[in-house]
Amino acid sequence: MKIIDVDVIVCSPGRNFVTIKVRTDEGIFGLGDATLNGRELAVAEYLRQYIIPCLIGKDPFDTEDIWQYLYRGVYWRKGPVNMTAIGAVDMALWDIKGKALGVPVYNLLGGRSRAYLDTYTHAQGTDLTSTLEEIGRLQDLGYSALRVQCGVPGLDKVYGVSSHDKYEPAREGERPVEEVWDSHKYIQFIPKLFEAVRLEFGIELRLLHDVHHRLTPNEAALVGKRLEHFDLFWLEDTTPAENQDALRLIRNSTSVPLAIGEIFNTVYDCQSLIINQLVDYIRMTIAHGGGITPMMKVASLASLYQIKMACHGPSDLSPINLAACIHFDTTINNFGIQEYMGYPAMISDVFQISHNITPGRIEPSDTPGLGVEVDLDAARKYPYKKSFLPVNRLVDRTLHNW
Ligand code: GCO
Ligand code: MG
């Protein structure tokens, strides 16, 4: 079998997605997600100019060699644009292999390690009362694991609490909006939030929280200690992810479970975190981390240290990335939990997923390949809309991490 052509489709059914369709001489095609929120066209053009010409004529079954060719053969390794492009190609090739052999991708990776996948979704509110209401609503729907984010008194807008809907705040426009942040106000408030949640809902609910890279190591250690007796499932991205050593200080100060990794692109970004056992969950994104091929290796390394995989699965990645997560999660032994936020309703005009998704749970289907369909005619009805993630500043306008 040979690759003969690759389409790059940029569409915006509720938000921007970049999709590739790898075509073969046998008529089988594979789908990959090349979405990088706020930088979509960079990946699309990188694919068109530099990656696709190198794929023509290759055998799509050679996933390992093609991955090595695209990663090591570039010389300028790593980087989110490069790794997202490679990730999309890798997903599409696994999709082709599964379709050609008539098996779901998880059967090519190691088969089923579990009957279903536990998922968590996002609970958010602008204040304590509305956040508690939202948790109650989601619990009634059947969710038993929730990421809880709440507006902080004295701050106009915080990460994870969207003003318009539940989806990630990439906003249309020619430049990013700016938000204002105050770590002190946040640190004072967050223990009160989890105290109220536990008082209202008891200890059964699994609770997660995302700090979104905003604290210093010492501030993160303090928050971790103050949250310890609320028994969190995890505390995510406490400090900027570039400094792996920061996690050592946090780890030595608190037993709160730590999760990190959504902006990592390679195993090298978490190598020292894993071998020094500084975290409990690796949250790499399959699309941004170079695809399924390298993620299986990250999972193997993590499994040596009882560290679990909990892939990033926000709504700013398409259902193709979600499907890749589903196959990966189904097969690895050290699966933690899968993030699932849901999608804007109009997404189903373009993407149809065969897996059975219910509140708090996903059951993988046995459809050959990844189990996702894309309607290209429908995609054309939703043209790309330039959007950016916000930029974050302190009250005195010093630039801070968003
Ligand atoms: C998460 C992430 C997302 C990111 C988003 C950026 O835990 O789901 O933090 O919410 O902010 O993917 O595009
Ligand atoms: Mg996160």
C-alpha pair distances (Å), 123 with each of 120, 126, 202, 309: 10, 11, 16, 22
Nearest CA to ligand 1 atom 9: 212
Question: Which residue from 144, 168, 142, 165 is spatially nearest to 315, judged by alpha carbons?
Answer: 168
- Tokens representing 149 are 């984010």
For the chain, what are the domain ranges? 3-103, 108-368
74 CB burial (10 A radius; 0-12, 13-18, 19+): middle
Ligand 1 contact via 134 beta carbon (within 6 Å): no
User: By 3-state DSSP, what share of the chain in percent is helix, strand and coil, each rounded to 5?
Assistant: 35, 20, 40
d(CA 205, CA 190): 17
Ligand closest to the CA atom of residue 120: 1
Question: Edge-to-edge strand order for the sheet containing 17-24?
Answer: 3-11, 17-24, 29-33
Give the number of the atom of ligand 1 that is nearest the alpha carbon of residue 122.
8
Among 120, 146, 316, 318, which residue has the most ligand 1 atoms within 8 Å of its CB, making it the best to mutate?
316
- What are the tokens at 396? 């005195």
Q: 212 CA distance to ligand 2 centroid (A)? A: 6
CA distance 91 to 323: 9
Closest CA to ligand 1's atom 3: 314
Backbone φ, ψ for residue 205 (5° rounding): -60, 135
Proximal ligand: closest to the CA of 313 = 1
CB 261 within 8 A of CB 283: yes
Does ligand 1 lie within 6 Å of residue 40's CB atom? no
Among the listed residues 143, 159, 281, 382, the single catalytic one is 159
The DSSP letter of residue 5 is E
CA of residue 339 to ligand 2 center, whole Å: 9
189 within 8 A of 153, measured Cβ to Cβ:
yes
User: Does the pTM exceed 0.75?
Assistant: yes
Which pLDDT tens digits describe the chain residue by residue (402 residues)?
999 999 999 999 999 999 999 999 999 999 999 999 999 999 999 999 999 999 999 999 999 999 999 999 999 999 999 999 999 999 999 999 999 999 999 999 999 999 999 999 999 999 999 999 999 999 999 999 999 999 999 998 889 998 766 566 688 999 999 999 999 999 999 999 999 999 999 999 999 999 999 999 999 999 999 999 999 999 999 999 899 999 999 999 999 999 999 999 999 999 999 999 999 999 999 999 999 999 999 999 999 999 999 999 999 999 999 999 999 999 999 999 999 999 988 999 999 999 999 999 999 999 999 999 999 999 999 999 999 999 999 999 999 999
d(CA 251, CA 229): 16
Chain centroid, CA 53 distance in Å: 28
159 is catalytic: yes
Q: How far is the CA of 37 from the centre of ligand 2 (A)?
A: 13
The rounded Å distance from CA 168 to ligand 1 centre is 7
Q: What is the spatial distance between Cα 43 and Cα 80, in angstroms, rounded to a whole number? A: 9
CA-to-CA dists, residue 223 to 180, 238, 274, angstroms: 20, 9, 22
Atom of ligand 1 nearest to the CA of 341: 8
Q: Which of 315, 298, 329, 312 is nearest to 212 (CA)?
A: 312
Tokens of 82: 């490069």
DSSP state of 104: B
Q: Do 193 and 210 form a contact (C-beta atoms < 8 A)? A: no
| Ligand of minimum distance to the alpha carbon of 35 | 1
Q: Count CB neighbours of 244 within 10 A.
A: 20
Q: Which of 236, 243, 224, 387 is nearest to 310 (CA)?
A: 236
Local structure of 182: helix, strand or coil:
coil
Helix axes 319-331, 80-101, angle to 10 degrees: 70
Q: How much distance in Å is there from the Cα of 337 to the middle of ligand 2? A: 13
pLDDT value at residue 157: 86
- 91-121 pLDDT per residue, tens: 999 999 999 999 999 999 999 999 999 999 9
- Our answer on whether the CB atom of 314 is closer than 6 Å to any ligand 1 atom is yes
Beta strands in 245-347 (DSSP E): 258-260, 281-282, 308-309, 338-339
Is 143 noted as a catalytic residue in this protein? no
Which of 43, 166, 168, 316 gets mutated to test ligand 1 (max ligand atoms within 8 A of its CB)? 168
Index of the ligand 1 atom closest to the CA of residue 313: 8
With a 6 A CB cut-off, is 390 part of the ligand 1 pocket? no
Topology of domain 108-368 in CATH is: TIM Barrel (3.20.20)
CATH superfamily for 3-103 is Enolase-like, N-terminal domain (3.30.390.10)
Q: Alpha-carbon distance 6 to 4, whole Å?
A: 7
